[in-house]
Amino acid sequence: MQTYQKMLSAKNISIIALFAALYVFMGSLVGLVVPALRGYPAHFFRGLTMSGVAAYSRRMWSASIMGLISGLIFFAVVPAPAPYLLPSSIVAGLLYDLSLGKGYVDTCRNPKRVTLGTLVSGLGEGAVAMAILTYVGFFRVQFQVLAVIWVAALAANMLLSTLGAQVTLLLLRRYK
């Protein structure tokens, strides 16, 4: 009986898939409506939905599965070649789940742990995406400019992800 409670049920996997679809839809919609934002709202929505799916399912690896599903959706539907979306989405979910650590049932709703998990997740996702973009030659600038781009992108990812998670925490407080 104890093992069953720790496993993800079909219902939980369905909910995780819905959260992943919501994340992809909201991030894409804002990207289409305001293209000048260049995908930054997706970081906010990732923080919101990833912390939301973990808090709702209360099961370890729920954010990782959401990262995998959303990464696969991005891989399938983004028309431009975006080799960083799948690995960075997977890393974001893994780091979020690992940051919450033991006692996931309790820590997935703990404001400090959710904030920490979101910061680490945003940092990991941003670092993977920036490393891949740098490796494929997307940035053809001097090293100093590249360093500023990296710091700004990582900071924006972490800030927006954390703001999204704070919305989840507000909802958790309101509807406890």
Check if the beta carbon of residue 130 is closer than 8 Å to that of residue 156: no
| Region of residue 80 (phi > 0: left; psi between -120 and 50: alpha; otherwise: beta) | beta
pLDDT in tens, 96-147: 999 998 899 999 999 999 999 999 999 999 999 999 999 988 899 999 999 9
pLDDT in tens, 24-65: 999 888 888 887 777 788 899 999 999 999 999 999 999 999
Question: What distance separates the 2 farthest-apart alpha carbons in the chain?
Answer: 59
In whole angstroms, give the CA distance from residue 149 to residue 116: 23
* Cα 139-20-58 angle, rounded to 5 deg: 120
**What are the Cα distances from residue 31, in Å, to 25, 71, 140, 143, 167?**
10, 16, 24, 29, 20
Check if the beta carbon of residue 50 is closer than 8 Å to that of residue 63: yes
| pLDDT at res. 6 | 58
Class of domain 2-174: mainly alpha
pTM of the model: 0.90
| pLDDT at res. 2 | 43
